[in-house]
Amino acid sequence: MIEPAFPPPAPEPLALSAEELLTTTRAVRKRLDFDRPVPREALERCVALALQAPSGSNRWALQFVFVTEPARRQALAEIYRGAYAHYQASPGYIGKVDKHDGTRNAQQQRTAGSADFLAENLHRAPVIAVACTYGRFAADAGAGHAAGLFGSAAPGIWSFMLAARLYGLGTAWTTMNFARREDTEATARLLEIPQDKVTMVSVFPVAYTLGTEFRPALRPEPHEVTHWETW
């Protein structure tokens, strides 16, 4: 039997239980340490763990592009900011979502402040990761195609983020670089991503976190999202 080959453990993992890891892996924006370099070994370790996630037909379609060059990070962040300004002015902006509850609205405003901060500072993250998947998104191919394409990438990306948290790193899943067709194309051109066979799924900063304590977030009660037998 072939044993999985993991690269040597990078930095010491934090002492977190599985439940703590699952409940405290947040979208980290204001607590990214922009000044501390992230060693390549730490990223490779997270990729190794992410590769244990499931993918359609066991095809391992997920790919990561790690951007560390300052000029490229700046260019990625500029595309992000252009799309973000457009988004901020739209009714769907995170700060305009009404959750019809004082506590939830207050949390929503905090998240909006955090999202605004990331838009202004994304270029400062020592690493910007672009997660991609083999396969070309075709809007007219139906829900099964979209479910397979994005469903083969999302578990691995989230596993990467959980692994990153385990090693003291923060991430925040974003899609702003794909908000408009021109942003998607500019991002792909910048990173030389072959769009005829690869789809970009998520852009996220990777940096050590300022402090390692994070709390579970306010979320709906399980019964609010659970249906039994039929919808």
Ligand X SMILES: Cc1cc2nc3c(=O)[nH]c(=O)nc-3n(C[C@H](O)[C@H](O)[C@H](O)COP(=O)(O)O)c2cc1C
Point out which residues bind ligand X (CB under 6 A): 26-27, 111, 115, 118, 172-176, 217
Minimum CB separation of residue 71 from ligand X in Å reads 22
Minimum CB separation of residue 205 from ligand X in Å reads 10
Minimum CB separation of residue 47 from ligand X in Å reads 19
Please tell me the number of Cα atoms within 13 Å of 35 on its side-chain side. 1
Minimum CB separation of residue 172 from ligand X in Å reads 5
34 with 120: CB under 8 angstroms?
no
Q: What's the token pair of residue 205?
A: 């900063």
Is 55 or 202 the residue whose CB approaches ligand X more closely?
A: 202
Q: Order of strands across the sheet with 62-67?
A: 62-67, 127-134, 198-208, 169-171
Is 10 or 80 the residue whose CB approaches ligand X more closely?
A: 80
What is the rounded CA–CA span in Å between residue 184 and residue 182?
Answer: 5
Is 40 or 96 the residue whose CB approaches ligand X more closely?
A: 96
Minimum CB separation of residue 111 from ligand X in Å reads 5
CA quadruple 207, 209, 214, 217: dihedral positive or negative?
negative
What is the rounded CA–CA span in Å between residue 144 and residue 169?
Answer: 34
Is 41 or 175 the residue whose CB approaches ligand X more closely?
A: 175
Is 8 or 92 the residue whose CB approaches ligand X more closely?
A: 92
Minimum CB separation of residue 144 from ligand X in Å reads 19
Minimum CB separation of residue 7 from ligand X in Å reads 27
DSSP of 109-174 = HHHHHHHHHHHHHGGGSSEEEEEEEES---GGG-HHHHHHHHHTTHHHHHHHHHHHHHTTEEE--B
Residue located via tokens 């592009």: 65
Is 28 or 38 the residue whose CB approaches ligand X more closely?
A: 28
Is 22 or 217 the residue whose CB approaches ligand X more closely?
A: 217
128 with 203: CB under 8 angstroms?
yes
- Three-state DSSP at 215 gives coil
